[in-house]
């Protein structure tokens, strides 16, 4: 039975959504606990377990027993002293293969050999791996020379699943969440995926009265509960020991003084919510990040002699501190110049990682022309590497000269992707959107609320009580510049048409063109890529030369142009070649916000 059959079976059983997510992490025994806790009939449980066993073999007898989570008294929190100790996997007898690099058939590079040798010597390593440089292949080569049990920590489940197919059998390829689930997460399996409305959370926290922040902003109990929940979420991504005021998210439209007062009001609610969340029988919802944090707070000792942290530049502090706390060889691998998720709590763990610093600079994804384009962006990022293109590949870089439809169109904003989607649909094409259109749909639904004079329920629009108020905010406040294109989109098309466009998107397998924001395109690659026009460009200096982009904008530009394998049309980012070299003018650089005049990005007719 294939995985799709398994998912179909799960969908027919009365189990919470979290049970399907738990399937990626749990042994068959742990899944049985989750399903039984969800009060599934015994016959259905047996049917489910019959299917689960081929996918998830039960833990060997040598695995230390963990507390029976579902035998606890109601209200009891998970014990804090659980040490996860799976039996070390058997070492592979397969020989080390160091003959090819990046799957190209070419000989391994000296850079790759240095990483393998450092791993074999037991050194702590920090590996800067540029876009397309054969990072995964190099890690496989390095893992094959590890002398003891090895853990490869992947950024997400799909990467871990792919790694299990190709890494030496002596390597445990997991995500941090999968380790945490086995240790403590199974106790909360019945609550995973169960949504709780903010009104219910407000009642749970006894938030009964609204809070006036200033003349314009009055926060309802529901909104205060949402801020408390987001503070807990932020805490779970951090390496902090307790929920702090800095974990309360900033609210648009507030001054620093108002925000400080608001955080003081929300913090006690957030701490109370975290205490409540830890109770196994709590009615509050539970996420995968919650049990990861609970596990990290126990300071677990992992039974591995070598730990490899992949995509270290985007690791949450909770994961990085977990790895650094181990008495083992620690190898961090990633691309510091692709550290583009700081806005959601990720940190570049590589910056302060102890160990010998090595590089991978030979890209196998694209040829010299695209490598040169990437290097134009890397030159603006202090301390970055420079890439060499694959000499066996012929690639080209164009500027608004592509004469055929690309495989992918990359935009700066979600709004840009939707506008392009509507343009493509009007031309009779059915595009797909990487990550789906749920975020845009949510904003459009919030616009309907605001236009009806009701407070918006969307996180980004909580501070506004009417559409006119939001429109005025984007017109007069610099902090509202990122919402200006959204307001223009809604005023141009109406929220109902935007929702209709989102509903018209298709799955990637059925699409003729893929749409994506640059952020969501990270980790992806396509043959031909077109860069949309909604990327912001820096202003000109007094000498007429463009100021350098900020470090964050330069990293995003680098990620964007390195998604192409054969042809890149750099239309929306071609201005990089007009910028001053080096970081000396960066402090004075002022980036103009996207679509400051309210215009929406356009796509040439020939590409539709």
> Is the same domain home to 429 and 518?
yes
> Is the same domain home to 151 and 243?
no
Asked whether residue 276 is assigned to any structural domain, the reply reads yes
Q: pLDDT, tens digit, for every residue of 393-448?
A: 999 999 999 989 999 999 998 888 988 998 999 888 989 999 888 888 999 999 99
d(CA 168, CA 144): 6
Residue 315: the pLDDT is 87
> Is the same domain home to 422 and 518?
yes
Which residue has 């940190």 as its token pair?
Answer: 347
Name the more confident of 421 and 341. 421
The residues, ordered by sequence, that sit 6+ positions from 587 with a Cβ below 8 Å of its Cβ are: none
d(CA 197, CA 467): 24
Among the three residues 285, 318, 344, which one is the final residue of a domain in this structure?
Answer: 285
Q: What is the mean pLDDT of residues 480-508?
A: 87
Task: Report the candidate in 197, 191, 186 with the shortest Cα–Cα distance to residue 225.
Answer: 197
d(CA 447, CA 440): 10
d(CA 415, CA 408): 16
Of the pLDDT bands very low, low, confident and very high (cuts 50, 70, 90), residue 607 is: low
Of the pLDDT bands very low, low, confident and very high (cuts 50, 70, 90), residue 84 is: very low
Of the pLDDT bands very low, low, confident and very high (cuts 50, 70, 90), residue 345 is: low
Of the pLDDT bands very low, low, confident and very high (cuts 50, 70, 90), residue 139 is: very high
Q: Which CATH number do you get for residue 295?
A: 3.40.50.300
Q: pLDDT, tens digit, for every residue of 314-331?
A: 888 999 999 999 999 999
> Is the same domain home to 593 and 530?
yes
Which residue has 């806005």 as its token pair?
Answer: 343
Domain containing residue 42: 1-65
Asked whether residue 448 is assigned to any structural domain, the reply reads no
Q: Which CATH number do you get for residue 406?
A: 3.40.50
Helix axes 481-493, 438-451, angle to 10 degrees: 70
Tokens at 579, concatenated: 């910028």
Among the three residues 38, 65, 92, which one is the final residue of a domain in this structure?
Answer: 65
582: left (phi over 0), alpha (psi -120 to 50) or beta: left
The DSSP letter of residue 250 is: P
pLDDT at 183 over 60: yes
Asked whether residue 164 is assigned to any structural domain, the reply reads yes
Asked whether residue 71 is assigned to any structural domain, the reply reads no
Q: What is the mean pLDDT of residues 281-304?
A: 93
Query: Percent of the chain at pLDDT above 90?
Result: 53
> Is the same domain home to 526 and 425?
yes
Measured in degrees and rounded to the nearest 5, phi and psi for residue 514 equal: -100, 130
Question: Do 402 and 607 contact (CB within 8 A), yes or no?
Answer: yes
> Is the same domain home to 401 and 257?
no
Asked whether residue 123 is assigned to any structural domain, the reply reads no
> Is the same domain home to 535 and 509?
yes
> Is the same domain home to 202 and 335?
no
Of the pLDDT bands very low, low, confident and very high (cuts 50, 70, 90), residue 48 is: low
Asked whether residue 490 is assigned to any structural domain, the reply reads no
Question: Do 352 and 320 contact (CB within 8 A), yes or no?
Answer: no
Name the more confident of 446 and 605. 446
d(CA 158, CA 443): 29
Q: pLDDT, tens digit, for every residue of 213-270?
A: 988 889 999 899 999 999 999 999 999 999 999 999 998 888 999 999 999 999 999 9
Among the three residues 247, 265, 285, which one is the final residue of a domain in this structure?
Answer: 285
CA atoms 88, 89, 90, 91: torsion sign: negative
Tokens at 170, concatenated: 């002596």
Residue 581: the pLDDT is 61
Residues in the chain: 608
Residue 215: the pLDDT is 85
Which residue has 């429109």 as its token pair?
Answer: 471
Where helices occur in 256-367 by DSSP H, the ranges are 256-277, 288-297, 317-324
> Is the same domain home to 374 and 523?
yes
> Is the same domain home to 215 and 309?
no
Of the pLDDT bands very low, low, confident and very high (cuts 50, 70, 90), residue 526 is: very high
Task: Report the candidate in 84, 128, 72 with the shortest Cα–Cα distance to residue 313.
Answer: 128
Asked whether residue 188 is assigned to any structural domain, the reply reads no
Domains in the chain, number? 4
Residue 18: the pLDDT is 45
Q: pLDDT, tens digit, for every residue of 574-601?
A: 999 998 665 444 444 434 433 334 444 5
pLDDT at 313 over 70: yes
d(CA 374, CA 380): 10
Residue 197: the pLDDT is 73
The residues, ordered by sequence, that sit 6+ positions from 25 with a Cβ below 8 Å of its Cβ are: 175, 177, 178, 181, 182, 185
Asked whether residue 498 is assigned to any structural domain, the reply reads no
Strand partners, 433: 515
Name the more confident of 459 and 550. 550
> Is the same domain home to 512 and 578?
yes
| Kind plus residue range of the DSSP H or E element containing 318 | helix 317-324
Long-range contacts of 264-269 (CB under 8 A, 24+ apart): 265/211, 265/224, 266/224, 266/227, 266/228, 266/231, 267/231, 267/243, 269/205, 269/207, 269/224, 269/225, 269/227, 269/228
d(CA 311, CA 317): 13
* Sheet order of strands, 514-517 included: 396-398, 564-569, 526-531, 408-411, 514-517, 432-433
The DSSP letter of residue 371 is: H
Q: pLDDT, tens digit, for every residue of 457-468?
A: 887 788 788 999
> Is the same domain home to 275 and 152?
no
Q: pLDDT, tens digit, for every residue of 151-171?
A: 999 988 888 998 999 999 889
């Amino acid at each position: 039975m294939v995985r799709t059959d398994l998912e179909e079976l799960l969908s027919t059983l009365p189990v919470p959504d979290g049970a399907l997510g738990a399937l990626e992490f749990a042994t068959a025994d742990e899944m049985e606990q989750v399903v039984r806790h969800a009060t599934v009939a015994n016959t259905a449980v047996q049917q489910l377990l019959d299917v689960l066993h081929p996918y998830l073999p039960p833990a060997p007898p040598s695995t230390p027993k963990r507390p029976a989570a579902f035998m606890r008294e109601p209200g009891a929190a998970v014990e804090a002293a659980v040490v996860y100790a799976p039996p070390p996997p058997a070492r592979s007898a397969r020989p080390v293969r160091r003959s090819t690099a990046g799957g190209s058939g070419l000989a391994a590079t000296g850079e790759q050999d240095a990483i393998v040798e450092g791993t074999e010597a037991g050194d702590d390593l920090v590996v800067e791996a540029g876009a397309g440089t054969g990072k995964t292949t190099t890690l496989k080569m390095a893992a094959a020379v590890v002398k003891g049990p090895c853990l490869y920590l992947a950024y997400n489940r799909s990467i871990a699943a792919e790694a299990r197919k190709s890494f030496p059998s002596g390597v445990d390829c997991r995500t941090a969440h999968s380790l945490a689930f086995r240790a403590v997460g199974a106790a909360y399996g019945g609550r995973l995926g169960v949504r709780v409305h903010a009104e219910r959370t407000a009642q749970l926290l006894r938030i009964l009265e609204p809070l006036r922040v200033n003349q314009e902003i009055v926060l309802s109990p529901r909104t205060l509960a949402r801020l408390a929940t987001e503070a807990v979420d932020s805490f779970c991504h951090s390496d902090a020991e307790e929920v702090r005021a800095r974990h309360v998210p900033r609210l648009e439209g507030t001054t620093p003084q108002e925000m400080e007062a608001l955080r003081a009001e929300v913090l006690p609610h957030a701490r109370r919510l975290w205490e409540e969340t830890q109770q196994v029988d709590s009615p509050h919802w539970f996420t995968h990040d919650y049990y990861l944090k609970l596990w990290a707070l126990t300071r677990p000792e992992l039974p591995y002699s070598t730990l490899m942290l992949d995509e270290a530049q985007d690791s949450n502090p909770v994961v990085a501190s977990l790895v650094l706390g181990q008495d083992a060889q620690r190898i961090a691998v990633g691309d510091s110049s692709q550290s583009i998720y700081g806005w959601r709590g990720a940190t570049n763990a590589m910056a302060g990682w102890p160990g010998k610093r090595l590089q991978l600079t030979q890209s196998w994804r694209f040829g010299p022309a695209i490598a040169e384009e990437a290097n134009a962006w890397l030159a603006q990022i202090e301390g970055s590497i420079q890439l060499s293109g694959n000499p066996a590949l012929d690639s080209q870089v164009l500027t608004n000269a592509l004469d055929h439809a690309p495989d992918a169109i990359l935009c700066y904003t979600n709004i840009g992707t939707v506008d392009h989607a509507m343009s493509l649909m009007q031309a009779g094409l059915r595009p797909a959107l990487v990550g789906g259109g749920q975020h845009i749909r949510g904003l459009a639904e919030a616009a309907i609320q605001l236009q009806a004079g009701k407070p918006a329920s969307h996180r980004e629009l909580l501070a506004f009580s009417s559409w006119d108020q939001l429109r005025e905010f984007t017109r007069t406040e610099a902090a509202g510049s990122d919402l200006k294109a959204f307001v223009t989109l809604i005023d141009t098309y109406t929220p109902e048409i935007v929702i209709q466009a989102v509903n018209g998107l298709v799955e990637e397998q059925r699409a003729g063109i893929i749409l994506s924001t640059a952020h969501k395109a990270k980790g992806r690659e396509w043959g031909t890529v077109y860069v949309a026009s909604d990327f912001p460009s820096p202003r000109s200096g007094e000498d007429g030369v463009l100021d350098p982009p900020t470090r964050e904008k330069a990293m995003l530009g680098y990620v964007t142009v390195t998604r192409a394998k054969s042809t890149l049309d750099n239309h929306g980012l071609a201005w990089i070649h007009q910028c001053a070299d080096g970081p000396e003018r960066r402090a004075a650089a002022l980036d103009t916000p996207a679509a400051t005049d309210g215009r929406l990005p356009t796509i040439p007719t020939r590409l539709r």
